[in-house]
């Protein structure tokens, strides 16, 4: 951004800060140099650089090694080797990148000369076997000073006038080594005396460093280089501070947890302070100079300089739809305190916080119960034992070491502090409701909570194991214009293929009209699988699957699926996938199924899956397992929920068998009708599953279990549609030949019914209170009279009649197409949308 200025006035400074990742690799360093040169063309520029990537770690390791003791006496050779290794690492990195050839002077010699005093420092550390914060600060200074040397030399080689500045020459600090605080007034005087020498040149400053009034080197602690840049901007009266890093701005969430995280375009300085308190972006004290001087800050990406980044200024944005940041502070411990009796005029929280402060233990969050009877405090996990001891000491100990005034302190670990930060929160109703509602929908327990006094943040302490799911869910609830749903589809048969075709046709309309973006994350058949967290183009799913050589390791795919927003396993197979459902639900994945087998599993297994879904707050939708897209199960559930007593359920649950009965009535031979039904996609993969009555029996069992009837499949009385002797062949052609042997007998049976004015239908009957000796659930062929509801069925129509206490005289009927890939797939899609809509509060 080119700052505005009056004609004739000097252009204001811009301060650019580059972190270690921006100067540690050749490509990034070249980009940083390009950016500096470009900004210099628009006016005066001051640059702050951090140590090159890994250099600080090497320097710390060198100091630690010297303090630990090295072979030799007095360790001269070993110390020399440490220094040479640090210098060689820098030189080799530049040489491999081809950077040394760009500078006229011998940069290797200059780096070695710069490191010479480090040899003396390490020798002294090795002799006394002691490493103080002061010596460590001095050792760390060599990393920043080397970066300045390299950047200044490379700028000069490009023809950009540049001068290296050791920030110790102007940053005057106290003597708190490792965490020094600058004196602004004294630093401004020092900088003013130096600045005249930079006229017309880019000044390249070391970050992170300062010096006491008596000349001892200090470091500024966490985000120290950012702090140097902020001080420099304040003293120079800069128009803008630019922080160049490896991300395109302040992200809405941790990109490692949320693939859909994106940069926030505009933040207020107050929001930035909140984020800084949580360890995200700039430390709060780094923001202070910018706030005092009202200097805007931009966070930019060195590798993608054309990205706008994030602007942080005093105003922020007034957009009510302004995205918010979801911050997850992990690896904490929560200590719960509860009073045994009244503690007098001082509150339990006041005493607890004072005790922890006196022990030097940082507190992430503290929250009190009403009337101050309890207090919860979150600290870093590694501080938990010290915190518990400090609290026990504050409230007195009994002989067993427990606090006298408190119940035993309960420590819960690990926990995560999940915080929502956004300026618009104080102007938007129901933020807290949406925040806690999103967590509640996925079954995340909130152990403690608090809201910032400025209404810019709200926090919840949650169990550590729930972190990833909670972050993704809250992020989606507040930052995504559409509700993203990610599917793993099992099976590419008739239903699976049709579902993917319908998704392809409806994807844009659902996103535009319903605010639901359904993404295909993966698809698998019996031989191979393909998975892409970014989403598989629905027009290419089959090609992607054919190109894949990955075997279908579904548990591994579920582990990947769980990391995506609103993960749903979609089962379009006829396999026994019961174990997969258990895995999916335990991982927090929703299940949508057209597969009846897990629902017809032995009662304890089925109930275990239902309990798992409830425990994990996951949805298991299975409407299409009975009646394809007909709302049979939903209707039954509604009747039961409203207290209506079910007297009887009767129906033609199989559109397939309904179609076959109709064809037989028209004179079509049985084997021909079955072959035709299979070709149309009406039957199960092997038609005997339909003809045996087993498929209808499973459907009847599913409905009976919805009534709470603890039955297994062997309790269902089944009479096959076709003779049993024709159903024992696995090979399809042999099966159809065997079926043809019964064509004539079936034709004669149908003719006798026709002459008697009756028609053949295959019905299921469920009686919750059957007479003695009569099965509660029966399925089989029935001759029905012309006035029976089943007599009116045509084609693949199915019907279910619910006779209830409220619908006794006129049973409640559900009727419509009951078979076919298209209608079943439509029902599966409806179940997927149920889950998505529930998360959007619709």
Cβ 174 vs Cβ 183: under 8 Å = yes
Helices (H), 680-794: 688-691, 694-706, 732-740, 743-755
Name 199's Cβ contacts closer than 8 Å, sequence gap at least 6.
none
Q: Annotated catalytic, 492? A: no
Q: Cβ neighbours of residue 73 under 8 Å, at least 6 residues apart?
A: none
DSSP type of residue 134: H
Q: How far apart are CA 588 and CA 676, in angstroms?
A: 41
Pair of tokens at residue 120 = 């003396």
CA-nearest of 674, 692, 666 to 819 is: 674
Length of the chain: 842
- Which residues lie below 8 Å from residue 374, measured CB to CB, with a gap of 6+? 336, 337, 338, 339, 348, 368
- What is d(CA 137, CA 208) in angstroms, rounded to the nearest whole number? 10
Instruction: Kindly state the tokens that stand for 261.
Output: 């995280």
**Cis, peptide link before residue 671, omega less than 30° from 0:** no
Tokens read off for 59: 């320097």
Which of 136, 123, 145, 108 lies closest to 73 in space, CA to CA? 123
Q: Are 250 and 281 in contact (CB under 8 A)?
A: yes
Phi, psi of 732 (to 5 degrees): -65, -40
Give the residue from 255, 228, 248 showing the smallest Cα distance to 311: 248
Nearest to 712, CA basis, from 559, 832, 600: 600
CB 87 within 8 A of CB 111: yes
Tokens for 625, please give them: 């397992």
Place of tokens 């507190």: 363
Runs of H (alpha helix) within 719-804: 732-740, 743-755
Residue pair 690/654 in contact by the 8 Å Cβ criterion: yes
Q: Nearest Cα to 567, choosing from 276, 198, 259, 191?
A: 259
In sign, the C-alpha dihedral spanning 390, 395, 401, 402 is negative
Q: How many CB atoms lie within 10 A of CB 190?
A: 19
Q: Where are the alpha helices (DSSP H) in 515-553?
A: 541-547
Among the listed residues 17, 492, 596, 699, the single catalytic one is: 699
- Cα dist. 447→277, 413, 468 in Å? 21, 11, 16
Nearest partner of 174 among 133, 146, 117, 204, judged by Cα: 133
Which tokens in the block code for residue 473? 């869910």
Q: How many CB atoms lie within 10 A of CB 27?
A: 10
Q: What are phi and psi of 419, to 5 degrees?
A: -130, 135
Q: Which two tokens stand for residue 74?
A: 């007095």
271, 456 contact by CB (below 8 A)? yes
CB 362 within 8 A of CB 383: yes
Give the strands of the sheet with 217-219, arranged side by side. 172-173, 209-212, 217-219
Angle between helices 821-839 and 431-441 (to 10 degrees): 130
State yes or no: cis peptide before 714, omega within 30 of 0.
no
Which pair of tokens denotes residue 296?
């805007």
SS3 call for 345: coil
* Catalytic positions, written as ranges: 699
């Amino acid at each position: 951004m080119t700052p505005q200025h009056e004609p004739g006035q000097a252009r204001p400074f811009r301060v650019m800060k580059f972190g270690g990742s921006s100067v540690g690799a050749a490509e990034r360093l070249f980009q940083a140099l390009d950016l500096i040169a470009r900004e210099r063309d628009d006016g005066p520029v001051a640059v702050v650089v951090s140590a090159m990537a890994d250099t600080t770690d090497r320097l710390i390791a060198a100091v630690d090694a010297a303090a630990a003791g090295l072979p030799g006496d007095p360790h001269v050779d070993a110390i020399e080797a440490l220094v040479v290794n640090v210098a060689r690492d820098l030189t080799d990195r530049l040489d491999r990148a081809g950077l040394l050839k760009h500078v006229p002077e011998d940069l290797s010699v200059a780096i070695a000369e710069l490191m010479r005093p480090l040899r003396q420092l390490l020798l002294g550390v090795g002799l006394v076997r002691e490493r103080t914060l002061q010596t460590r600060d001095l050792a760390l200074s060599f990393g920043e000073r080397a970066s300045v040397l390299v950047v200044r030399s490379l700028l000069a080689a490009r023809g950009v006038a540049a001068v290296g500045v050791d920030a110790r020459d102007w940053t005057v600090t106290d003597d708190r080594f490792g965490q020094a605080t600058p004196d602004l007034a004294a630093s401004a005087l020092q900088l003013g005396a130096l600045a005249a020498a930079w006229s017309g040149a880019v000044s390249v400053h070391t970050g992170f460093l300062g010096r006491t009034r008596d000349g001892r080197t200090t470091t500024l602690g966490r985000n120290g280089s950012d702090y140097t840049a902020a001080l420099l901007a304040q003293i120079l009266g800069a128009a803008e501070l630019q922080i160049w890093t490896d991300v395109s701005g302040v992200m809405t969430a941790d990109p490692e947890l949320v693939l859909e995280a994106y940069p926030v375009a505009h933040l207020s300085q107050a929001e930035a302070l909140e984020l800084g308190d949580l360890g995200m972006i700039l430390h709060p004290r780094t923001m202070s100079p910018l706030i005092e001087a009202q200097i805007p800050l931009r966070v930019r990406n060195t590798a993608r300089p054309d990205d706008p980044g994030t602007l942080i200024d005093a105003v922020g944005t007034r957009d009510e739809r302004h995205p918010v940041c979801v911050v997850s502070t992990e690896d904490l411990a929560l200590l719960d305190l509860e009073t045994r009796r009244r503690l007098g005029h001082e509150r339990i929280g006041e005493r607890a916080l004072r005790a922890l402060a006196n022990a030097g233990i940082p507190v992430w969050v503290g929250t009190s119960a009403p009337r101050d009877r309890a207090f919860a405090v979150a600290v870093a996990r590694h501080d938990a034992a010290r915190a518990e001891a400090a609290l026990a000491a504050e409230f007195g100990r009994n002989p067993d070491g427990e606090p006298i005034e408190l119940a035993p302190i309960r420590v819960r670990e690990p926990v995560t502090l999940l915080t929502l930060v956004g300026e618009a929160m104080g102007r938007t109703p129901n933020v807290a409701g949406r925040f806690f509602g999103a967590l509640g929908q996925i079954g995340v327990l909130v152990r403690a909570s608090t809201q910032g006094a400025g209404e810019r943040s709200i926090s919840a302490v949650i169990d550590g194991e729930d972190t990833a799911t909670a972050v993704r869910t809250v992020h989606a609830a507040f930052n995504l214009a559409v509700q993203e749903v990610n599917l793993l589809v099992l099976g590419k048969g008739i239903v699976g293929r049709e579902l993917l075709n319908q998704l392809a046709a409806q994807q844009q309309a659902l996103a535009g009209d319903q605010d639901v973006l359904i993404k295909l994350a993966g698809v698998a058949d019996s031989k191979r699988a393909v998975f892409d967290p970014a989403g598989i183009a629905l027009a290419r799913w089959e090609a992607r699957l054919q190109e894949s050589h990955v075997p279908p390791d579904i548990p591994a795919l579920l582990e990947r699926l769980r990391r995506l927003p609103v993960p749903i396993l979609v089962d379009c197979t006829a396999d026994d996938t019961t174990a997969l459902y258990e895995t999916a639900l335990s991982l927090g994945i929703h299940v949508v199924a057209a597969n009846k087998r897990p629902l017809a599993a032995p009662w304890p297994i089925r109930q275990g899956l239902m309990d798992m879904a409830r425990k994990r707050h996951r949805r298991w939708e299975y409407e299409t397992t009975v009646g394809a897209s007909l709302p049979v199960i939903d209707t039954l559930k509604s009747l039961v929920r409203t207290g209506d007593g079910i007297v009887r359920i009767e129906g033609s649950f199989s559109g397939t068998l309904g179609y076959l009965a109709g064809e037989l009535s028209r004179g079509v031979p049985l084997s021909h009708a079955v072959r035709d039904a299979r070709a149309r996609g009406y039957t199960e993969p092997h038609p005997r599953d339909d003809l045996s009555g087993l498929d209808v029996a499973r459907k009847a069992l599913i409905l009976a279990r919805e009534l709470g009837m603890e039955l297994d499949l062997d309790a269902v009385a089944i009479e096959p549609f076709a003779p049993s002797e024709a159903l024992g062949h696995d090979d399809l052609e042999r099966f159809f030949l065997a079926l043809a042997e019964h064509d004539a007998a079936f034709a004669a049976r149908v003719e006798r019914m026709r002459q008697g004015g009756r028609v053949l239908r295959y019905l299921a009957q469920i009686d919750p209170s059957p007479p003695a000796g009569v099965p509660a659930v029966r399925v089989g062929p029935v001759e029905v009279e012309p006035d029976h509801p089943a007599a009116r069925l045509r084609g693949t129509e199915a019907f279910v009649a619910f006779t209830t206490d409220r619908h006794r005289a006129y049973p409640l009927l559900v009727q419509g197409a009951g078979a076919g890939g298209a209608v079943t797939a439509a029902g599966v899609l409806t179940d997927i949308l149920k889950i998505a809509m529930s998360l959007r509060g619709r």
